[in-house]
Structure 1
Amino acid sequence: MQRRKFLTLIGGGVVLAAGGASAFVATRTPTEALAPWDAAGAAQYDDPRLHALSYAVLAPNPHNRQPWKVKLRGAEAFELYFDTDRQLPHTDPFDRQLTIGLGCFLELMEMAANSVGFAVATELFPAGHDPAALDRRPVAHVTFSGAATSADPLFAYALQRRSTKQPYDTTRPVPRDVLQRAMSAVRIAQAGGSTEAELTQYLRDLTEQALLIEIETPHTYKESVDLFRIGKAEVNANPDGISFSGPMFESLRLAGVLSRETVTDPSSVAYRGGIDAVTTNCRTSMGHIWLVTETNTRLDQIAVGRDWLRLNLATTREGLGLHPMSQALQEYPEMAALYADAHRRLAPDGGTVQMLGRIGYGPTVPASPRWPIEAKLVSD
């Protein structure tokens, strides 16, 4: 939420805390929840697997669920598992988007391993998988070796990567060559992208309508609200889900404007401000990027995750903001009409549109909270 949004809320009746309370809110950065960004690759990781995994936990993933669990195997291998407690049954009923997040994790892990001279061999779903839902079988078995390898140039942007969920500068168009350079990072999926005015406006409207459907459908919106972390204490205690931290949100919390109750009340300032914020994001999109696969298997979804991570790093390299806006691609009944419309427009020759994101030049945004890799290690 920008300062303009906050001033709008003040106009609606919010009074900022004064004196000691103001000093209190000024110190509300959730430093514990952000510590994994500083710990990535730190000297304490003598084990190359932990070095690589300390980066992998920073990968983008839906609703910041961080749905990964890791079992170390022997001295050179690990198994990646899906945390079945982190499913999104209403907005991601087949775990497709969460599988894409696991693909992001694997790609960033491999980049980090390569950066210190380790090659990795990855066997996906060694015990099989269910196309209807992920389960407790391993997602991947990964083996490290000291074989000569080189760092991917994109890895240099791993710690700068963000999902820029803010309005973009509508006076600054995205040059076509910049878009093409970013898209060239995609290796497996079919990448599409456009900054053309008519298609940009169509996708602005599509993404706005999809967000409103998700918010106005009680069970899908509640799925998000249940994952809200409001204020420093909640974010540090649970550095996953959708975080609202920093002086602005802390002030709203203290004033009683921002709570789980107010964000579900359509008559409240918090609800109306939230609608305004997300629709403004859609309306300031300066172009879009999407990824399509011919089929929609678990292997396709992992591959898309790998490419989405690469696309995130490539847009970071180009100074572009990238914000996933895949609500119209979600497979639940209330979204069916927009799902079909998006596929007619973005995949006219068939296939599955797996990811859609808005691009543009936006402000610098803080990192998202993360659990450290140590919290994600499990034993038999």
Structure 2
Amino acid sequence: MTTRRKFLTLLGGGVVLAAGGTTLWATTRDPVRAREPWLAAGDAALRDPRHRALSYAVLAPNPHNRQPWIADLSTEGEIALLCDLDRRLPETDPFDRQITIGLGCFLELLTLAAAQDDHRAEVTLFPDGEPQPRLDARPVARVRLVPDASIARDPLFAHVLERRSNKEPYDTARPVPNESLAEIAGAVRDGSPVWTDDPSRVEALRTLAWAAMETELRTYETMKESVDLLRIGRAEIEANPDGIDIPGPFVEALAGVGLFRLEDMLDPATPAFAQQLEILKPPFETAMAFMWLATPGNTRADQIATGRDYLRMNLAATRLGIAMHPFSQALQEFPAMRPHAQAMREALGIAPGETLQMFARLGYGPAVKAGPRWPYETRIAAA
């Protein structure tokens, strides 16, 4: 979480809150209601196994926390997974590749949860055809839940409620053991993860990743896409528990008196923009290892498989107490990012024709709270 001092610096300082009652007020600003889906997952009162599985699946990682999934339950025993087309990211993800990877994370978590409930998830991808160049109203998948008391329960499921995308700076005094990286990579089912913990190579990749991030920030359209998704303070986060949450009493107070101005974050000429760079850079500077996934092609099925693998990697890292955080900027397909994408491909040894699908940093980070989520019921299509 960004510190009070950093936020005051970001906004020019000079803010003095009235002393009386501020401590009591601050204690009420945690958006606890936005995290309730993490506590409600798997509620035994849910009689339909589809509902129980969905209550876990909505906790899956996904780009910008857009939670782009819709479940159509109109066919008994089946879930038709659709993409909420209004939750795509057309500027940073113009071909919906990252959104599709997020839907793959959802499908893997749904499958793990169903197995815990003695159901086998039979997944048929894109039953009405694979949409290109962008997703459309056709189903991403049809999932049939079949009772099966013999199905194996995956031990990774035990870590679902602990899983995080830890965006904080990591401990640079604690290298990630190579055997731990191998164990994380070994959790995947389809892909072939590659990793590095070599200090000189990690340093070079930190630099490349930050250069890509800075380009995203300095490109007005891509930066505005993120700024438009900011949820500042408890009320905004609980009202819209998706997008990029910025919790905390100090930023909420500053926004309330007009000193947290979103337009300043979009203008590279402002002190606020410069301070934003300072705040965002430490996670890049403290990556202790990197792991990535590439696929031979770039079909929608490839993207789904990548998401399923990434979810398993994230759970395996959680089991080992290792933090994990995707750095997606250099993989994005908007024009200004092309030089960075090519530099990253060369640095990672991605072969011609292959697609770099995921690139994540690893390390040991502080404990962080679960991210906001819409209740699973809100992601079920209306009859």
Question: TM-score higher than 0.5 here?
Answer: yes
SS in 2 for 1:121: strand
- Output the CA distance in 1 between the equivalents of 2:170 and 2:6: 15
Change (3 A) 1:15 1:288: farther
SS in 2 for 1:276: helix
AA partner of residue 329 (structure 2)? Q
Which residue of structure 2 aligns with residue 24 of structure 1? 25
Which residue of structure 2 aligns with residue 49 of structure 1? 50
AA partner of residue 290 (structure 2)? H
Change (3 A) 1:16 1:169: farther
Which residue of structure 2 aligns with residue 257 of structure 1? 259
- Relative to the length of structure 1, the TM-score reads 0.96
AA partner of residue 198 (structure 2)? E
Query: Residue deviations 1:130-160, cap 9 Å, x none?
Result: 2200000001111011112121100100000
**How many pairs were matched up?**
380
Q: How far 1:10 sits from its partner (Å)?
A: 8.3
- Output the CA distance in 2 between the equivalents of 1:358 and 1:213: 19
Q: How far 1:57 sits from its partner (Å)?
A: 0.3
Note if contact 1:102-1:305 (Cα within 8 Å) is conserved in structure 2. Answer: yes
- Output the CA distance in 1 between the equivalents of 2:160 and 2:212: 30
Which residue of structure 2 aligns with residue 278 of structure 1? 280
Q: How far 1:178 sits from its partner (Å)?
A: 1.1
Which residue of structure 1 aligns with residue 107 of structure 2? 106
Query: Residue deviations 1:298-348, cap 9 Å, x none?
Result: 000000000010011011111111111010000011000011111122243
Which residue of structure 2 aligns with residue 95 of structure 1? 96
Q: Map 1:159-198 onto structure 2 (within 5 A).
A: 159-198=161-200
Note if contact 1:131-1:297 (Cα within 8 Å) is conserved in structure 2. Answer: no
Among candidates 352, 357, 363, match of residue 355 of structure 2: 352
Deviates more, 1:139-148 or 1:297-306: 139-148
Note if contact 1:67-1:82 (Cα within 8 Å) is conserved in structure 2. Answer: yes
Among candidates 365, 369, 374, match of residue 366 of structure 1: 369
Deviates more, 1:24-33 or 1:189-198: 24-33
Which residue of structure 1 aligns with residue 70 of structure 2? 69
- Relative to the length of structure 2, the TM-score reads 0.95
Name structure 2 gaps, 5 residues minimum.
none
- Output the CA distance in 2 between the equivalents of 1:45 and 1:270: 47
Which residue of structure 2 aligns with residue 376 of structure 1? 379
Note if contact 1:291-1:356 (Cα within 8 Å) is conserved in structure 2. Answer: yes
Q: Map 1:176-255 onto structure 2 (within 5 A).
A: 176-254=178-256
- Output the CA distance in 2 between the equivalents of 1:354 and 1:26: 41
How high is the sequence identity, in percent, across the aligned residues? Answer: 49
Q: How far 1:17 sits from its partner (Å)?
A: 4.7
- Output the CA distance in 1 between the equivalents of 2:239 and 2:188: 36
- Output the CA distance in 2 between the equivalents of 1:291 and 1:189: 7
- Output the CA distance in 1 between the equivalents of 2:86 and 2:12: 40
- Output the CA distance in 2 between the equivalents of 1:257 and 1:190: 47
Name structure 1 gaps, 5 residues minimum.
none
Query: Residue deviations 1:93-131, cap 9 Å, x none?
Result: 000000000000000000001012111101000000222
Change (3 A) 1:7 1:363: farther
AA partner of residue 315 (structure 1)? A
SS in 1 for 2:73: strand
- Output the CA distance in 2 between the equivalents of 1:348 and 1:357: 15
SS in 1 for 2:193: strand
* Pairwise CA RMSD: 1.7
Change (3 A) 1:349 1:74: closer
SS in 1 for 2:162: coil
